């Protein structure tokens, strides 16, 4: 009888622990918004840009593309800004020459961040930045749009997605930023 009681008690205890475990962890936090702007103080162009970001989020990569059917990095920037009424050149290098230079510590929503060829080197590592010829260090070849909070949206062969500027490859290959929207917040 004592063995049966212990067996029943063990089963009840096991069931209680199993049920407690099934209660699960708290729900995951909600996803971050694409562009964390406060409603107050948004210019019409910033509102249009925020709307355009939604159109291009998750779009597939297409070399030379500038529409939500497919884009490359500079095509994404050109397509986004086209929807705000701002005309930009087509290539990364020409986009880098346009606009107003912005310091990294002054980045705000809508600024375009630029990177050198290091971000395209396969098998990246800290040592590769020193291997690149100096011309590659200065040449911009990739860009994305700054969203705020250290995040930017860009197009790569994986499609259009959000990355963080503090990740090593972006931190090391960062060349500068340009502002194309007038005014300041």
Give me the percent of the chain exceeding a pLDDT of 70. 67
Please check whether residue 9 lies inside any domain of the structure: no
Residue 185 pLDDT exceeds 60: no
What is the pLDDT at residue 27?
43
Please check whether residue 22 lies inside any domain of the structure: no
CATH number of the structural domain spanning residue 150: 3.90.1720.10
Per-residue pLDDT tens over the stretch 49-77 = 999 999 999 999 999 999 999 999 999 99
What is the pLDDT at residue 141?
93
Compare 130 and 92 and report the one with higher pLDDT: 92
**Mean pLDDT computed over 3-21:** 44
Please check whether residue 99 lies inside any domain of the structure: yes
Please check whether residue 1 lies inside any domain of the structure: no
| Confidence label for 153 from pLDDT (cuts 50, 70 and 90) | very high
Please check whether residue 52 lies inside any domain of the structure: yes
Q: Is 141 an annotated catalytic residue?
A: no
What is the pLDDT at residue 138?
75
Residue 96 pLDDT exceeds 70: yes
**Mean pLDDT computed over 156-177:** 94
Per-residue pLDDT tens over the stretch 97-124 = 999 999 999 999 999 999 998 776 644 4
Please check whether residue 32 lies inside any domain of the structure: no
Q: Is 22 an annotated catalytic residue?
A: no
In angstroms, the CA 69 to CA 4 distance is 68
What is the pLDDT at residue 15?
44
Please check whether residue 86 lies inside any domain of the structure: yes
List strands edge to edge, sheet with 159-164: 100-102, 174-179, 112-116, 140-148, 151-156, 159-164
The active-site residue, picked from 7, 22, 119, 142, is 142
Q: Cα–Cα distances in Å, from 32 out to 28, 37, 68, 94, 164?
A: 12, 12, 22, 32, 13
Opening angle at CA 166, ends 105 and 58, nearest 5: 105
Q: Is 157 helix (H, G, I), strand (E, B) or coil?
A: coil
Mean of per-residue pLDDT scores for the chain: 79
Q: Cα–Cα distances in Å, from 123 out to 7, 50, 184?
A: 57, 34, 39
Residue 129 pLDDT exceeds 60: no
In angstroms, the CA 108 to CA 6 distance is 66
The active-site residue, picked from 7, 22, 73, 119, is 73
Please check whether residue 97 lies inside any domain of the structure: yes
Range of the domain at 102: 45-179
Q: How many domains does the chain have?
A: 1
């Amino acid at each position: 009888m004592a063995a049966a009681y212990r067996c029943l008690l063990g089963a009840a205890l096991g069931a209680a622990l199993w049920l407690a475990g099934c209660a699960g962890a708290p729900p995951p936090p909600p996803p971050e918004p694409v562009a964390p702007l406060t409603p107050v103080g948004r210019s019409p162009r910033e509102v249009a840009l925020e709307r355009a970001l939604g159109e291009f989020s998750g779009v597939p990569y297409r070399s030379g593309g500038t529409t939500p059917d497919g884009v490359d990095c500079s095509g994404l920037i050109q397509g986004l800004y086209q929807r705000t009424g701002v005309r930009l050149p087509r290539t990364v290098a020409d986009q880098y020459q346009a606009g107003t230079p912005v310091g990294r510590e002054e980045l705000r929503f809508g600024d375009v961040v630029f990177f050198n060829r290091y971000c395209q080197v396969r098998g990246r590592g800290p040592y590769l930045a020193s291997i690149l010829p100096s011309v590659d260090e200065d040449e911009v070849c990739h860009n994305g749009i700054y969203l705020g909070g250290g995040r930017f949206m860009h197009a790569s062969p994986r499609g259009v997605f959000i990355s963080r500027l503090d990740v090593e490859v972006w931190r090391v290959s960062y060349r500068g930023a340009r502002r194309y929207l007038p005014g300041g917040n």
